Structure 1
Amino acid sequence: MSTGVFIRNKFPNPGDETNGRPNIFPNTMILVFGISLCYMGSNAGYISRQLNSTATTTTTGNSDLRLSTKAVTTAILNNLRLGRLPKAVSILFTYDVQLPFSLYAHLFRICASNKAIIETRKVESHLITSYPHPPVFLLNRAIESYGKCGCLGDAKELFDEMPRRSGGSWNAIITAYTRNGFAGHALGLFSRMFAEGVFASEITFASVLGSCGIALELWLSRQVHGLILKYGFVGNVILESSIVDVYGKCSVMSDARRMFDEIRNPNDVSWNVIVRRYLDTGDGKEAGNMFSKMVRAKVRPMSFTFSNAILACLSYGGLREGAQIHGFSIKINLEEDEVVSSTLIGMYAKCGDLGSARRIFNFPCSNNLISCTTMVSGYAVNGKTTEARELFDQMTQRSVISWNVMLAGYTRSFMWDKALDFVIMMRRNTKEIDHVTLGLILKICAAIPDVELGKQIHGYAYRNGFYTNLFVGNALLDMYGKCGNLTRARIWFYEMSHLRDKVSWNALLTSYARHGLSEEAMMIFEKMLGETKPSKFTFGTLLAACANIFALELGKQIHAFMIRNGYEIDIVINGALVDMYSKCRNILSAIKIFNCAASKDVILCNTMILGCLHNGLSEKVFELFETMEKEGMRPDHVTFQGILQASVSAGRVELGRQYFELMSEKYCLTPQLEHYDAVIELYGQYGFMDELELFINNMPCKPTAPILTKVFDFSRKHKCVSLGEWASNHLNELNPLVPFRFESSDSG
Structure 2
Amino acid sequence: MKKLLLRPPSLPSTRAPPHFPTSAATSLPEDFSSSIIRDKDLLGRSPVPQSINLRILELVDAGSVEPTSKLYAQLIKQCAQRSKPREGKLVHAHFLKSRFFDNPFFHISIIDMYCKCGSLVDASKALDGMPVKDTVAFTALITGYSRSDEPRSALELLPRMLGLGLKPNGFTFSSLFKACGAVGRLELGEQVHCFGVKLGCDGHVYVGSSLLDMYARCGKMDEACSVFDGLGSKNEVSWNALIAGHAREEDGEKALQRFWEMKRCGFEPTHFTYSSVFGVCASLGSIEQGKWIHALVIKSGQKGSSFLGNTLLDMYAKCGSIEDARKVFDQLERKDVISWNSMLTGCAQHGLAREAVRRFEGMLKLGVKPNQITFLCVLTACSHGGLLSEGERYFGLMKEYKIEPEVEHYVTMVDLLGRAGLLDRSQKFINEMPIRPTAAVWGALLGACRMHNNAELGQFAAERVIELDPHDSGPHTLLANIYASAGRWSDVARARKAMRASGVRKEPACSWVEIENSVHMFVANDESHPQVKEINQMWEEIHGKIKEAGYVPDTNYVLLRVDDEQERESKLQYHSEKLALAFALLNMPRGATIRIMKNIRMCGDCHCAIKLVSKVMEREIIVRDMNRFHHFSGGSCSCGDYW
TM-score, normalised to structure 2, is: 0.69
Whether the aligned pair in 1 keeps the contact of 2:252 and 2:281 (CA below 8 Å) is yes
Letter in 2 for 1:121: K
Distance 1:14 1:440 in 2: 43
Whether the aligned pair in 2 keeps the contact of 1:539 and 1:558 (CA below 8 Å) is yes
Q: Report the equivalent of 1:140.
A: 108
Whether the aligned pair in 1 keeps the contact of 2:524 and 2:574 (CA below 8 Å) is no
- Which SS does the other structure have where 1:165 is aligned? coil
Pick from 510, 515, 524 the counterpart of residue 447 of structure 2.
510
1:500 CA drift (Å): 5.3
1:370 CA drift (Å): 5.6
The 1:11/1:639 distance shift into structure 2, 3 A limit, reads closer
Q: Report the equivalent of 1:617.
A: 565
Deviations 1:23-55 (A, max 9, x none): xxxxxxxxxxxxxxx99xx99xxxxxxxxxxxx
Q: Structure 2 stretches of 5 or more lacking a match?
A: 1-25, 512-522, 530-534, 544-551, 587-602, 620-643
The 1:204/1:447 distance shift into structure 2, 3 A limit, reads closer
Distance 1:100 1:113 in 2: 20
- Which SS does the other structure have where 2:34 is aligned? coil
Letter in 2 for 1:337: Q
Pick from 535, 545, 557 the counterpart of residue 482 of structure 2.
545
Q: Report the equivalent of 2:34.
A: 9
Q: Report the equivalent of 1:266.
A: 234
Within 5 Å, give how 1:19-30 maps onto structure 2: none
Residue 74 of structure 2 is aligned to residue 126 of structure 1 = no
Within 5 Å, give how 1:466-485 maps onto structure 2: 466-485=403-422
Whether the aligned pair in 2 keeps the contact of 1:7 and 1:128 (CA below 8 Å) is no
Q: Report the equivalent of 2:546.
A: none
1:126 CA drift (Å): 1.0
Distance 1:451 1:2 in 2: 58
Whether the aligned pair in 2 keeps the contact of 1:205 and 1:228 (CA below 8 Å) is yes
Q: Report the equivalent of 2:395.
A: 458
The 1:374/1:324 distance shift into structure 2, 3 A limit, reads closer
Letter in 1 for 2:303: E
Letter in 2 for 1:432: K
- What percent of counterpart residues are identical? 23
1:104 CA drift (Å): 1.7
Q: Report the equivalent of 2:492.
A: 555
Distance 2:469 2:429 in 1: 18
Q: Report the equivalent of 1:235.
A: 203
Distance 1:667 1:509 in 2: 36
Deviations 1:650-699 (A, max 9, x none): xxxxxxxxxxxx99997569xxxxxxxxxxxxxxxxxxxxxxxxxxxxxx
- Which SS does the other structure have where 2:61 is aligned? coil
Pick from 423, 426, 436 the counterpart of residue 363 of structure 2.
426
Whether the aligned pair in 1 keeps the contact of 2:553 and 2:569 (CA below 8 Å) is no
Pick from 457, 463, 480 the counterpart of residue 526 of structure 1.
463
Pick from 117, 120, 144 the counterpart of residue 152 of structure 1.
120
Deviations 1:437-463 (A, max 9, x none): 212332354456565554443333345
Letter in 1 for 2:505: Y
- Which SS does the other structure have where 1:530 is aligned? helix
Whether the aligned pair in 2 keeps the contact of 1:404 and 1:436 (CA below 8 Å) is yes
Whether the aligned pair in 1 keeps the contact of 2:439 and 2:464 (CA below 8 Å) is no
Distance 1:282 1:91 in 2: 59
Distance 2:58 2:418 in 1: 63
Whether the aligned pair in 1 keeps the contact of 2:115 and 2:123 (CA below 8 Å) is yes
Pick from 174, 181, 197 the counterpart of residue 142 of structure 2.
174
Whether the aligned pair in 2 keeps the contact of 1:512 and 1:518 (CA below 8 Å) is yes
1:142 CA drift (Å): 0.9
Deviations 1:507-561 (A, max 9, x none): 0222344444312221332232222145444344212321244321221133344
Pick from 278, 296, 300 the counterpart of residue 246 of structure 2.
278
The 1:638/1:209 distance shift into structure 2, 3 A limit, reads closer
The 1:403/1:142 distance shift into structure 2, 3 A limit, reads same
Distance 1:18 1:228 in 2: 45
The 1:395/1:7 distance shift into structure 2, 3 A limit, reads closer
The 1:272/1:515 distance shift into structure 2, 3 A limit, reads closer
- Which SS does the other structure have where 1:246 is aligned? helix
Q: Report the equivalent of 2:192.
A: 224
Distance 1:86 1:153 in 2: 22
Structure with a larger share of its residues in strand? 2
Within 5 Å, give how 1:322-341 maps onto structure 2: 329=296, 335-339=300-304
Larger Rg: 1
Whether the aligned pair in 2 keeps the contact of 1:2 and 1:163 (CA below 8 Å) is no
Letter in 2 for 1:570: P
- Which SS does the other structure have where 1:432 is aligned? coil
Q: Report the equivalent of 2:20.
A: none
Structure with a larger share of its residues in helix? 1
TM-score, normalised to structure 1, is: 0.61
- Which SS does the other structure have where 1:199 is aligned? coil
Whether the aligned pair in 1 keeps the contact of 2:32 and 2:125 (CA below 8 Å) is no
- Which SS does the other structure have where 1:458 is aligned? helix
Coordinate RMSD, CA, aligned:
4.8
Distance 1:127 1:433 in 2: 44
Whether the aligned pair in 2 keeps the contact of 1:513 and 1:541 (CA below 8 Å) is yes
Higher relative contact order (CA 8 A, sep 6+): 2
Q: How many corresponding residue pairs?
A: 539
Q: Report the equivalent of 1:108.
A: 76
The 1:626/1:163 distance shift into structure 2, 3 A limit, reads closer
The 1:244/1:2 distance shift into structure 2, 3 A limit, reads closer
1:163 CA drift (Å): 3.2
Deviations 1:280-300 (A, max 9, x none): 211122223333443454445
Letter in 2 for 1:182: E
Deviations 1:486-525 (A, max 9, x none): 4553355356696755432310222344444312221332
The 1:551/1:134 distance shift into structure 2, 3 A limit, reads same
Q: Report the equivalent of 1:567.
A: 505
- Which SS does the other structure have where 2:415 is aligned? helix
Distance 1:391 1:315 in 2: 19
Distance 1:378 1:155 in 2: 44
Residue 184 of structure 2 is aligned to residue 206 of structure 1 = no
1:212 CA drift (Å): 0.9
Distance 2:524 2:270 in 1: 50
Distance 2:615 2:383 in 1: 40
Deviations 1:397-448 (A, max 9, x none): 4322333344445545545445444443333332411223212332354456
Q: Report the equivalent of 1:441.
A: 378
